[in-house]
Amino acid sequence: MEKGASTTQMGVLSLLRIAIGWHFLSEGLGKLLNGGWTARDYLATADGPLAFVFRWMADTPAVLSAVDVVNVWGQVAIGLGLMLGLVTQVACVAGAILLAFYYVARPPIFLVSPILVEMLALVGLASVPTGRAFGLDRLLARRRRNEEAEAGPRQAVEGPAEGREPGSPLTDRRDLLKGLSGVPFVAALGAVTGAHHVWPSHEERDLVDAFSGASRKPLALTSLSDLKGRVPSGTIRGKQISRIILGGNIICGFAHSRDLIYVSATLRAIAEHGIQPDFWMRTFHPDNYWSHRHPEEHDNKYCYNAAETVAFMNEREEPWIAFKVMAAGSVKPQEAFRYAFESGADYICAGMYDFQMVEDANIAVETLDQTRQRPRRWSVWESPPATGRARLPSGTRSRRAPRRTRPASPRRSGPRPRPAARSGPAPSEVP
């Protein structure tokens, strides 16, 4: 054992080293097995005093290609070195340098971040030869010392080489166990990664953002130049509105009415009493994702009976805005948008982050271009004329809402009394 540290202390430090190595190796394998990863977006959004350097890297294809290779294979090599205890101190220094680049690219506001903590831990581990206590470095060091000290048969047991018997084995059992202590962890990570890659979980198969770690699936930054076309629009009370509306449930916290249990009853009451709204807004999404039909209740269910909603809206001529169409990320946007528009929705209100807007707009453009069969016509609710009734475009069927009648006033007998005289201008007439 190395002087100055007990076996327990070296064991604890070795576990810390293996844990950090697990993190490095899992990140590297994640990038390697999920092709198409690139550091471009991470570099392009760098800030801090050296942001211009990282953005130059992102804009220079040759440099970016080298950066991608260094990131992927560097994390794999560093992770293996830390977990197996092979060239441990070199792996610690290399890992600290790589983390330093990550830290400088996006320095945190309050200075301390998980990246900084992990980097400082590697700096500390680089000063302690933990690999010679628990790792392959122990076996390599023992072999090297034996070769230098012995002229006869090789042997490797604890204690001075001079006191060993000729012909004893190269390593004893205890040395072998300590030297290979990191192998089971590498095997475990390999098994987890393999199972994860071959048998994806429900979330990864069905949900949209299940695999969205910044390191493995970076933000796909887009600009207006990436738009595939102009999103079609409609008219509600004379206001032109695009067929896809930015929902605020993610950014601002509104557009949630799932927990208002009286909403459905309110909508029916509005229809039954002939009240003519400007538009209808209703949660609507398919029910073919795994957690919707799970025996236990989940918090990503917003439309309990899609068929009933479609039947209700088929009897309405006002515009229908469907929202929560992706059921909080449970349904892919391509499927959710198509299901809403083909079911009769005139607009969809989709919650999205800023970096998702262009992508969702492109999906809406493609979906609307392919939508042919709908149970109801596209509703265009135009500005009301002077009579106060909404005017429908030509060719759109109209249904007169029940007219509300006021009770007849009792007839007065005799002449109507004249109003008292008053000074000043006469009051305006009210029809």
Segment 233-239 mean pLDDT:
85
What is the token pair recorded at 43?
A: 């570099």
Contact present, 122 and 19 (Cβ < 8 Å): no
16 vs 18: CA distance, rounded Å: 5
Contact present, 201 and 208 (Cβ < 8 Å): no
Q: For residue 123, name the pLDDT band (cuts at 50, 70, 90).
A: very high
298 vs 88: CA distance, rounded Å: 46
| Mean pLDDT, rounded, of the chain | 74
Which is nearest to 360 in space by CA: 250, 204, 211, 202? 250
Least confident of 22-31, 51-60, 205-214, 218-227: 205-214
Give 59's DSSP letter: H
Burial call 53-65: b when 16+ CB within 10 Å, e when fewer: ebbebbeeeeebe
Q: Which pLDDT value is given to residue 406?
A: 43
| 150, amino acid identity | E
Percent of the chain past pLDDT 90, that is, above it, reads 19
Q: Which pLDDT value is given to residue 80?
A: 94
β partners of residue 351:
247
Segment 388-398 mean pLDDT:
37
74 vs 233: CA distance, rounded Å: 49
Pairing of strands 244-247, 347-351: parallel
What is the token pair recorded at 193?
A: 């990664």
48 vs 70: CA distance, rounded Å: 22
How many of the other CB atoms lie within 10 Å of CB of 93? 16
Taking each helix axis as running N to C, give the angle between helix 88-105 and helix 114-126, from 0 to 180 degrees, rounded to the nearest 10: 150
Q: Which pLDDT value is given to residue 269?
A: 78
> Which is higher by pLDDT, 427 or 384?
384
How confident is the model over 63-111, as pLDDT tens digits? 999 999 999 999 999 999 999 999 999 999 999 999 999 999 888 888 8
Note if the pTM is more than 0.75. Answer: no
46 vs 55: CA distance, rounded Å: 7
Q: Which pLDDT value is given to residue 413?
A: 45
Pick the most confident of 171-185, 208-222, 251-265, 287-301: 171-185
379 vs 345: CA distance, rounded Å: 9
Segment 4-31 mean pLDDT:
89
> Which is higher by pLDDT, 9 or 147?
9
Whether the pLDDT of residue 212 is over 60: the answer is no
Q: How far apart are the first and last CA of the chain?
A: 101
What is the token pair recorded at 394?
A: 């030509």
Whether the pLDDT of residue 418 is over 50: the answer is no
Q: For residue 195, name the pLDDT band (cuts at 50, 70, 90).
A: confident
Least confident of 145-149, 245-249, 384-388: 384-388
Q: For residue 248, name the pLDDT band (cuts at 50, 70, 90).
A: low
Q: For residue 31, name the pLDDT band (cuts at 50, 70, 90).
A: confident
